[in-house]
């Protein structure tokens, strides 16, 4: 079950051929995307996702996304979906064909959550730390590196996940050149210590997390302290719990880091998962 709607407001066959070969999204990875979790027909954090799509598009100097058109496109997928109660909704926006009329390409596609993601949500994951190569202090002075934009140029993110899978792990966590913690290839890092939740700052060149944001809102309401600040590898290994947050993962527990078991965070995971869900109750 997959549902595809183009940004022009029309449904399309998800197995059909809809893109030109000279689409710059393909030729140059020159576009942006979002993945939204939909539960029982209700998209979670759609506003923050569309906000981030707009910020990413601005960083790539793409035409400003037509928010009303995106909302209609999303609505069309939601209204057409007859699959499982949970859906991953991908929003993709590219610079369009190189030899076209300048119209960007946009579409929304709904698909079921993958088996592996569902399994990892329950069982937790093993993660490896991988060097990402840049120093956080370069972010503000080198905007051409597009750090913090969610672009289609994800070959490195995919290679990092393949590397993890080839090395007895399901996930990766990137470290900056100065050793500080960045993010997962498609997730944010959250650590819990006592009644404090911490995550790494967008100023270090990572994506602002929508799911992490929802979790922190819920946690603050329940009296947790939340901090957005640089984290070290020691912060990850010494925490009561280490988690990866993303739309489709929700809050997934890391039980093993670089081959070493972390403290049992099963009960903590249940508590945080419930906090996150309480945002949508």
Judged by beta carbon, residue 111 or residue 231, the one nearer its own copies is: 111
| Shortest distance in whole angstroms from residue 14 CB to its own copies | 7
Among residues 138 and 225, whose Cβ is nearest to its own copies? 138
**Token pair belonging to 68:** 């009303």
26 or 228: CB nearest its own copies: 26
DSSP string over 198-265: EE--GGGSPPPPHHHHHHHHHHHHTT-EEEE----HHHHHHSSEEEEEETTTEEEEEEEETTEEPPP-
- Cβ proximity to its own copies, 141 vs 260, nearer residue: 141
Minimum CB distance to its own copies smaller for 10 or for 270: 10
For the bound state, the minimum distance from the C-beta of residue 269 to its own copies, rounded and expressed in Å, comes to 27
CA neighbor of 255 nearest in space, from 140, 135, 122, 92:
122
> C-beta of 31: minimal distance to its own copies in Å?
8
* Residue number, 24 or 37, with CB nearest to its own copies: 24
CB of 67 to its own copies, least distance (A): 21
* CB-nearer residue toward its own copies: 138 or 274: 138
* Contacting residues toward its own copies, per CB under 8 A: 2, 4, 12, 14-31, 33, 59-61, 90, 92, 94, 99, 107, 109, 111, 130-135, 138, 141-146, 149, 151-160, 162-163, 172, 177
Taking the complex as a whole, the smallest distance from the CB of residue 203 to its own copies amounts, in Å, to 15
Nearest-approach distance from CB 1 to its own copies, in angstroms = 11
Q: Which residue pairs from 23-27 have beta carbons closer than 8 angstroms and sit at least 24 positions apart in sequence?
A: 23/94, 23/96, 23/97, 23/98, 23/105, 24/94, 24/95, 24/96, 24/97, 24/98, 25/92, 25/94, 25/95, 25/96, 25/105, 25/152, 26/94, 27/98
> For residue 276, how many C-alpha atoms fall within 13 Å in the half-sphere facing its CB?
26
- Long-range contacts of residues 115-120, Cβ cutoff 8 Å, at least 24 apart: 116/170, 117/248, 117/249, 120/170, 120/171, 120/249, 120/252
Smallest distance, Å, CB 227 to its own copies?
A: 26
């Amino acid at each position: 079950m997959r549902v595809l709607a183009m940004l022009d407001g029309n449904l399309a066959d998800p197995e059909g051929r809809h893109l030109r070969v000279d689409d710059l999204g393909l030729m140059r990875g020159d576009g942006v995307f979002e993945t939204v979790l939909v539960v029982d027909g209700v998209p979670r954090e759609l506003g923050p996702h569309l906000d981030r799509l707009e910020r990413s598009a601005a960083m790539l100097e793409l035409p400003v996304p037509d928010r009303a058109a995106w909302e209609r496109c999303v609505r069309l997928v939601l209204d057409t979906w007859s699959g499982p109660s949970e859906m991953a909704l991908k929003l993709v926006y590219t610079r369009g064909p190189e030899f076209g009329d300048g119209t960007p390409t946009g579409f929304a596609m709904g698909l079921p959550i993958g088996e592996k993601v569902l399994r990892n949500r329950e069982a937790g994951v093993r993660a490896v730390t991988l060097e990402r190569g840049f120093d956080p202090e370069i972010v503000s002075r080198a905007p051409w590196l597009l750090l913090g934009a969610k672009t289609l140029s994800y070959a490195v993110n995919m290679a990092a996940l393949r590397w993890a899978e080839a090395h007895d792990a399901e996930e990766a966590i990137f470290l900056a050149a100065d050793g500080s913690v960045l993010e997962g290839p498609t997730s944010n890092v959250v650590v819990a210590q006592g009644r404090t939740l911490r995550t790494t700052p967008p100023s270090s060149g990572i994506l602002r997390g929508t799911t992490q944001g929802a979790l922190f809102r819920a946690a603050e309401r329940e009296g947790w302290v939340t901090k957005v600040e640089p984290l070290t590898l020691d912060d990850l290994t010494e925490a009561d719990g280490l988690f990866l947050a993303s739309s489709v993962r929700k809050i997934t527990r890391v039980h093993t880091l670089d081959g070493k078991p972390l403290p049992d965070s099963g009960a903590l995971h249940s508590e945080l998962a419930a906090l996150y869900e309480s945002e949508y109750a």
